[in-house]
Amino acid sequence: MTSQATSRAAGTAAAERREQAVRAAVEQGLAGPDVPIVALLDTAGIRAGAAALRAAFAAVTDAPVLHAFAVKACPLVPVLRLLLAEGLGAEVASPGELALARAAGIRPAATVLDSPAKTPAELREALALGIAVNADNPQELARLDALVSSAPSASPLGIRVNPQLGAGSIDALSTATATSKFGVALLDDGARDWVVRAYVERPWLTRLHTHSGSQGVALSLMARGVRAAHELAEEINAAVGRQQVDTIDIGGGLPVNFGSDEETPTYAAYASLLKEEVPGLFDGRYGLVTEFGRSLLAKHGLVLARVEYAKSSGGRPIAVTHAGVQIAARTVYAPASWPLRIEAYDAKGRPKQGPPVAQDIAGPACFAGDLLAENRPLPLLEQGDFTGVLDTGAYYFAHHYSYNSLARPGIYGFTATADGVRFATVRDPQPIADLVEEAGGAHADALL
């Protein structure tokens, strides 16, 4: 079976599990009049994605590879624990993300710290624990100089570089532009020489890191960024006269297909392209680190929201649901860049039947633009039906936007078999009392 056929088959299986889980969520009371929004994660899909990632790179190199999941994509401890069980580590970009990774049991040796704004305290903690650190800029490297000279550390250390190759289709997610805030800009005057000299002067710099962006970035652009990092590593090692750079962190960024259930592009396709474009990366001299996030989780999550009211305005039907900007801020504010698929279900969680009718899928927030889909052809939704917001496993329901003080939904992992569906709590629904506490409820008189 070809990789494309395998991808289609995996998508079909995932869709079948999803339908089974939606019915079960309604039948078991996870979703209904009193719980109008819930998020679901397909554990089998997540496991399969992690296995596909490992297999793709194992097919092109015998060198060690650390697959460090980008925690920002889904900062949930049970998810990190599941990925750890599947052989993955963690890429963290804040003290909070590091705390989540540690709570999940991920070892420091399988953790990478990346951030353009690391504080001295963050760097000290990382070096004390032995966590890998990629310095973002010369000032951060100067901080590492002081810390390394004051206390020994087992942390692998490197520098992040920006090959300045250009943008993908979404500027905000393109990190290899001429003016990107990330890394040392290699094409700026004197920058490449500075990087080489930094390694020559610091034998403890053994890694090199690059990341060209994520959604909207073509595989060819990603591969060019990796090639630029490999060429720089070869130049550094030649200048030093030995294999000082022994590991290249190629970042993540595999884009996600938000248009269908098919999981494309695949990790296998990307690894094969890298093998073709950067063969020296896979000759056994370099260990690798990857930092995939969205591509591991997006296709394996959905938000199920009840239709509270079905109305019409200007002749267009509108389904007013409980899923909107609070779970999909990117889609609401930039719908052209972040379209989401919507599935229609009846009040029992079964696929809605009927001819497609153009309608708006609206969220609960108090502004006119809170729409997850506009003029979308779907079977006509009625009060009590459900919408399924698909492909939301990454950067959606775990990144709550507190518009109108809307509470965070509960999140449940599901396992669907011929014997039924079993749910496991990933995160409890947020109690209203927590909202009051977050809003300074304990300090009500502070301003009097």
Helix (H, G, I), strand (E, B) or coil at 412: strand
Residue 368 phi/psi, 5° resolution?
-65, -30
Preceding amide of 431 cis, omega within 30: no
CA distance 76 to 411: 10
**Other C-beta atoms lying within 10 Å of the C-beta of residue 27:** 14
Give me the pLDDT at residue 163, please. Answer: 86
The confidence score (pLDDT) of residue 72 equals 96
Whole-number pLDDT of residue 187: 86
Token pair of 367, please? 């502004």
400, 326 Cβ separation under 8 angstroms: yes
CA dihedral defined by 394, 396, 401, 405, rounded to 10 degrees?
A: -120
Angle between helices 77-85 and 95-103 in degrees, nearest 10 = 60
Burial class (CB in 10 A: 0-12, 13-18, 19+), 433: exposed
Strands (E) located in 126-275? 132-135, 157-162, 184-185, 205-209, 247-249
| pTM: predicted TM-score of the whole model, two decimal places | 0.95
Q: Which residues pair with 310 in a beta bridge?
A: 319
Give every residue of the chain whose pLDDT is below 70, as ranges.
Answer: 1-5, 164, 166-179, 216
CA end-to-end span of the chain: 70
pLDDT tens-digit readout, 145-190:
999 999 999 999 999 998 867 666 666 655 666 667 778 989 889 9
Cα 127 from Cα 110, distance rounded (Å): 14
Q: How many residues does the chain have?
A: 448
Task: Kindly report, residue by residue over 210-263, the tens digit of the pLDDT.
Answer: 988 777 678 888 899 899 999 999 999 999 999 999 999 999 989 999 999 999
Cα 11 from Cα 29, distance rounded (Å):
27
**Rounded distance between C-alpha atoms, residue 248 and residue 61, angstroms:** 13
Cα 267 from chain centre: 15
